[in-house]
Structure 1
Amino acid sequence: GFDLSYSTLSSQCLIFHLFPGEVVVIGSNLPIIAAPGDDVLLPCHLAPMFDVQGLTVEWSKPDLKPDPSDRLSRVEYVHLYRDRQEVPDMKMASYFRRTELFMDDMKHGNISLKILNVSEEDNGRYRCFIPKLQSRVKAAVVELVVVGEKICFVFNSFPTFQASFTNRFRLCWFLRCFLFCFLDPNNTKNLTTDSPLHPQILQTPNPQDTTPRNSESPTVQLSSASFPFERYF
């Protein structure tokens, strides 16, 4: 079954006064964030639990409109389920062999859509619609946001790391995770600098200089708590 939280139904309850036992289509209030190449799940289900195997399920992009200059033009589907099977002839070419429903879970009301190998061209809103559902809430909208590029690790004789991002948020998130893992303030260590001193430091001391000298080597303290994130973001 599905657990229904207040936050999930709040936006719909403010508009519709649902009758007891009325079946509604529920999506996600939050956008689905993904990177290029990921396989994503656009969540959508019916509540209370309802078997939709015998109904038509349409997944489309509502922001796409038909060509007004062509009277025969139509907006194709991202995924169309009809007569207990997918109808590939009416889907957008860019989604061919990239979408699927969970057929075994449709009897429980699960109509979530899986999209394979997403790209930035897949950005936008997706609408799940059941036209013959006996309900006043037959559709739900889920937003997909595809940002940045996939992280790539390259190991040669010396381990190196290559990553590029087009989104500052994802880069900041990665740096915070890195510093948390490797520069944990609970494991802070004092690192002694054993490298040779600069020639300017190796000068003959002035006999008249009475400033006390510290014989200890300079130390450097690393701590993730003191890293100035705001300076770079």
Structure 2
Amino acid sequence: MASEDEAHIQVGQLGTEMASGGMNSALRDAARFAEVIRKATSGDHPDTIAGKAVRIEPSQDHRIAGDVRQCGPGRLCGDPPPGTARISAPALIALACAAGILRWSMIGLAETASVAMLAQLLQGATLGFTQLGAAQYIRTRVPEQVISSGTGLYAACAGLLTASCVLLGSFLFASVGGRAFLLTSAMCGAGLAAALALQAHEARQASGLDAG
């Protein structure tokens, strides 16, 4: 990839890399890495290491033709996890935001470390439902030829928003302490309202199609 600077990779005791934030690199090198993945997913460089490492899920046409890969008993690659197929993407995101309101409110108002630690158990719901909802929304609403770009845009926006919140939170924490996390709870409340509005909008659209 010909990186310009060194990078730091956070690993566990067994040497396993940490996902979602475990790599710290220069911005230009991060962009180079993203470009390598983009080219690999486009199929222009199938013989490179990245091209062999990146697996592109089969399209619906390939599945119909019989080019189907199993990702588990009775499941196809690209299918949503069991139990979430009947839940709409806005509903999954709304669940994540509701869990986020509870989680960050508990942490912001916690008087003891045990309460904050208990609230952290909700991270699985906040992160998991958010990722599932976003992935399902992109998979079902974004044209197949630009899904990779859509996923990259989502990841970039999520990363920038997280970095902005961390920066702002550092100033707030210095002045109000743990109450700074209540801002995150308020942001989850705004996200919940937006997700419910999106779900209602799509329901109205579906009703209009059925009526037509």
TM bin, normalised by shorter chain, reads under 0.3
Larger strand percent? 1
- TM-score normalised by the chain length of structure 1: 0.20
Larger helix percent? 2
Select the structure of larger CA radius of gyration.
1
- TM-score normalised by the chain length of structure 2: 0.22
